[in-house]
Amino acid sequence: MLARVFGLVGAMLLAVVLASCSPLEGDGRHLVPLSGAAKAQLAAMGSSPQAAMMVRIFKEESKLEVWKQTASGSFRLFKTYDICTWSGELGPKFYEGDRQAPEGFYTITPGLMNPNSNYYLAFNLGFPNKYDRAHGRTGSHLMVHGACSSAGCYAMEDEQIAEIYALAREAFSGGNRSFEVQIFPFRMTAENLAKHQSSPHIDFWNNLKQGHDFFEVAQVPPNWDVCDGRYVFRQPSAVSAAASMAGQCQPVTADQSIVSAYMAKQTADAAALQSAIVRAADAEAAAVQAEERRVAAQAEMEARGEALNSAVNGFFGTLLSPFGGAQPQAQAMSEPVAAEMVAPQS
């Protein structure tokens, strides 16, 4: 009997020790498995839960995309989530406390995952990154998290962040050391860039577009670095040391096929941008002209109304004058006649 008691106590102590080192922290929400539907979708697109992943965020649209690597090595879009809320406005984060959600390229490692977040689940963006530090930007605890509440973060619904967190967890379990988060102010289209040409952030956004376009043509997230205060992007696969040195501050360093596709896209986008700028200028001029026509038409209408009112008042004033409804001018004209009639009696 005593042996059983000691055995039970020993088992309890062992359980306590194991629990203190166990990853089952909190309520274990960070260990909830991916749904069967998510696994089936990954399989259908030629991917798996353990495959590498990438995240793209578009502020203006409030969209978060999760991309997964397929068996071919290229990345395909797994799912697009609606961002519940984000704080600030379009543009980068500058300093601690400005309540601005950041933009740029961020590398997420397992140490940035937060299973005990006060906002359900979260992963830290790692702000400020190398680019942010080069520009003297400050801030901390910038996250993608749940609870739909933001003070400089990107907030999701709890169900959404649970799935995104699980996707990241499984990607790490597959041997991936990190995943990339690319954050853009808007879809990097010619129309959007034309609309924001006067923004003080346009040069920064054009730099972000280089990384955006690398992924668009290569379908693989670029390795990013910072050179002369700007983002530079390189192909993840090995590039010769000579090529790396020669292209150190080039926007893109990659195989010739990727560079050629990238340059072709830049040329096509530049032409589309100029056309979009012209269209936007024409639309603005047309809007100004339309407003001028509207104001002129309204002024003309008001002038006609005043003229009509004056004519109506004059007509009824003349019509009613024999009945005491004469205008002051008509009354003044009748006063001398009345005086002549009274004079003989005095």
Q: What is the pLDDT of residues 77-102, one digit of tens each?
A: 999 999 999 999 999 999 999 999 99
**pLDDT (0 to 100) of residue 319:** 65
In terms of pLDDT, which residue wins out, 55 or 310?
A: 55
* Average of per-residue pLDDT across 140-157: 95
CA–CA separation, 271 and 278 (whole Å): 11
d(CA 236, CA 220): 8
Q: Cα separation of 231 and 216, whole Å? A: 17
Question: How do strand 154-155 and strand 85-86 relate by DSSP bridges?
Answer: antiparallel
Across-strand partners of 122? 114, 145
Q: Where are the domains of the chain?
A: 27-187, 188-295
pLDDT at 24 over 80: no
Kindly state the average pLDDT of the residues 4-11: 44
Q: How confident is the model at residue 279 (pLDDT cuts 50, 70, 90)?
A: confident
**In this predicted model, which residue has the larger pLDDT, 288 or 248?**
288
27-41, 104-118, 212-226, 264-278: which range is least confident on average?
Answer: 264-278
Q: Of 157, 159, 158, 118, nearest to 141 (Cα)?
A: 118
User: Mean pLDDT across the stretch 291-320?
Assistant: 79
- Which tokens go with 47? 């991917």
Q: How far apart are CA 179 and CA 267, in angstroms?
A: 30
CATH number of 27-187: 2.40.440.10, 2.60.120.200, 2.40.50.140, 3.40.50.300? 2.40.440.10
Confidence of residue 226 (pLDDT cuts 50, 70, 90): very high
Hey, what long-range contacts does 196-203 have (CB within 8 A, 24 or more apart)?
Answer: 196/90, 197/277, 199/90, 199/91, 200/91, 201/90, 201/91, 201/92
**Contact yes or no for 153/101 (Cβ under 8 A):** yes
Give percent above pLDDT 90 in the chain. Answer: 65
Give the whole-angstrom CA distance, residue 88 versus residue 185: 11
- Band (pLDDT 50/70/90 cuts) for residue 246 is low
Q: Which residue has the higher pLDDT, 7 or 222?
A: 222
Q: Are 68 and 42 in contact (CB under 8 A)?
A: yes
Q: Which residue has the tokens 């040329």?
A: 267
**Is pLDDT larger for residue 288 or for residue 129?**
129
Q: What is the pLDDT of residue 201?
A: 98
State whether residue 75 is helix, strand or coil: strand
Q: What string of DSSP letters covers 72-109?
A: TS-EEEEEEEE--EE-S-SS---STTS-----EEEEE-
2 pLDDT higher than 60 = no
pLDDT digits (tens, 9 = 90+) for 58-83: 999 999 999 999 999 999 999 999 99
Mean pLDDT of 11-18: 37
Q: Catalytic one among 30, 84, 141, 145?
A: 145
Task: Look at strands 75-82 and 63-69 and give their pairing.
Answer: antiparallel
Q: Average per-residue pLDDT in the chain?
A: 85
Q: Is 153 labeled as catalytic in the residue annotation?
A: yes
How far apart are the C-alpha atoms of 210 and 222, rounded to whole Å?
A: 10
For residues 14 and 181, what is the distance between their CA atoms, to the nearest angstrom?
41
Mean pLDDT of 153-180: 98
- Give the pLDDT band of residue 4 (cuts 50, 70, 90): very low
Q: Which two tokens stand for residue 134?
A: 């080069």
Catalytic: which of 84, 153, 227, 249?
153
**Smallest Cα–Cα separation from 142: which of 94, 174, 175?**
94
**Percent of the chain with pLDDT strictly greater than 70:** 80
Amino acid 330: pLDDT? 45
pLDDT at residue 19 tops 90 = no
